[in-house]
Amino acid sequence: EVQLVESGGGLVQPGGSLRLSCAASGFTFSSYWMTWVRQAPGKGLEWVANIKQDGSENYYVNSVKGRFTISRDNAKNSLYLQMNSLRAEDTAVYYCATGNPSGVWGKGTTVTVSS
Binding site for another protein (CB under 8 A): 35, 37, 44-47, 50, 59-62, 95, 97, 100-103, 105-108
Among left, alpha and beta (phi > 0; psi -120 to 50; other), residue 108 is left
Residue 98 backbone dihedrals phi, psi, to 5 degrees: -90, 145
Among residues 30 and 59, whose Cβ is nearest to another protein? 59
Among residues 16 and 46, whose Cβ is nearest to another protein? 46
Question: CB of 20: closest distance to another protein in angstroms?
Answer: 15
DSSP assignment of 53-68: TTSS-EEE-GGGTTTE
Question: CB of 57: closest distance to another protein in angstroms?
Answer: 10
Q: How many Cβ atoms from other residues are within 10 Å of residue 8's Cβ?
A: 16
Among residues 46 and 112, whose Cβ is nearest to another protein? 46
